[in-house]
């Protein structure tokens, strides 16, 4: 089976140009986490999600030549993933209790809406982060990116943990208000 997949990929690779290889790789790497999360939302277990993600990845690779590059990659990839979830469910139907196709479709639609909501808020967060002072960004990076706790951040900045907790509270409050404001502005302007 694995040899057949490799052989199929090899034949297909010969028909794809280097630009197409690069474009597929760039798009797939950018969206693979969201594709997997979408699949995981629709299936009851991780092993099933892993299997369907693998199948979806292969189908996306094989069908990329037919993909209209003037359109968005993620909705196309989600449609492929949705079909692969349905194929998986048909194969495994006798082993697991599954949602109806109608319920699966509703769940998929909700997941897509959640992705849009999350993406809008993520963009707003990036913009709001630019409004922070350098020392505030430094505290956030130490706390969240480096995974430090308030005590170690306080030690590094020569202050108290209580001061770090207060600074983090104020930063979070600012970011929350800023994000809400930016999202409301985008919605009011019709950009969401």
Mean pLDDT of the 97-116 span: 71
The pLDDT-based confidence of 4 (bands split at 50, 70, 90) is very low
- Provide the pLDDT for residue 65: 81
The pLDDT-based confidence of 9 (bands split at 50, 70, 90) is very low
Contact 92, 48 (CB under 8 A): yes
Q: Are residues 87 and 137 in the same domain?
A: no
Q: Are residues 1 and 88 in the same domain?
A: yes
Q: Are residues 67 and 127 in the same domain?
A: no
First vs last Cα of the chain: how many Å apart?
Answer: 45
> Looking at 98, 122, 149, which one is the last position of a domain?
98
Q: Are residues 91 and 118 in the same domain?
A: no
> Higher model confidence: residue 4 or residue 99?
99
The domain spanning residue 17 has which CATH number? 1.10.1740.10
- Domain with 130, as residue range(s), is 109-192
Show the tokens assigned to 134: 């350098």
Mean pLDDT of the 95-103 span: 64
- Provide the pLDDT for residue 93: 65
Q: Specify if 185 maps to a domain.
A: yes
Is the pLDDT confidence value at 182 over 80? yes
The pTM for the full model equals 0.49
- Provide the pLDDT for residue 5: 42
Is the pLDDT confidence value at 158 over 80? yes
Token pair 């474009």 is found at 23
- Rounded distance between C-alpha atoms, residue 105 and residue 90, angstroms: 15
> Looking at 45, 64, 98, which one is the last position of a domain?
98
Ranges 9-18, 77-86, 95-104: which has the least confidence: 9-18
Residue 1 is classified by DSSP as: -
Q: Specify if 104 maps to a domain.
A: no
22-59 tens-digit pLDDT = 888 888 888 888 899 889 888 878 888 999 999 999 99
Q: Are residues 65 and 152 in the same domain?
A: no
Q: Are residues 94 and 5 in the same domain?
A: yes
């Amino acid at each position: 089976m694995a040899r057949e997949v490799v052989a199929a990929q090899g034949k297909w690779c010969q028909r794809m140009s280097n630009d197409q290889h690069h474009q597929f790789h760039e798009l797939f790497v950018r969206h693979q986490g969201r594709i997997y999360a979408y699949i995981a939302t629709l299936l009851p277990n991780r092993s099933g999600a892993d299997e369907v993600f693998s199948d979806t990845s292969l189908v996306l690779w094989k069908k990329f030549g037919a993909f209209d590059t003037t359109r968005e990659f993620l909705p196309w990839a989600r449609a492929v993933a949705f079909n692969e979830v349905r194929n998986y469910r048909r194969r495994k139907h006798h082993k697991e209790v599954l949602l109806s196709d109608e319920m699966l479709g509703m769940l998929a639609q909700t997941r897509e809406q959640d992705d849009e909501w999350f993406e809008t808020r993520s963009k707003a967060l990036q913009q709001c982060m630019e409004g922070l002072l350098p020392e505030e960004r430094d505290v956030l990076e130490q706390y969240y990116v480096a995974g430090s706790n308030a005590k170690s951040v306080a030690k590094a900045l020569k202050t108290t943990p209580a001061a770090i907790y207060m600074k983090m509270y104020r930063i979070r409050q600012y970011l929350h208000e800023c994000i809400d404001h930016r999202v409301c502005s985008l919605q009011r302007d019709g950009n969401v």
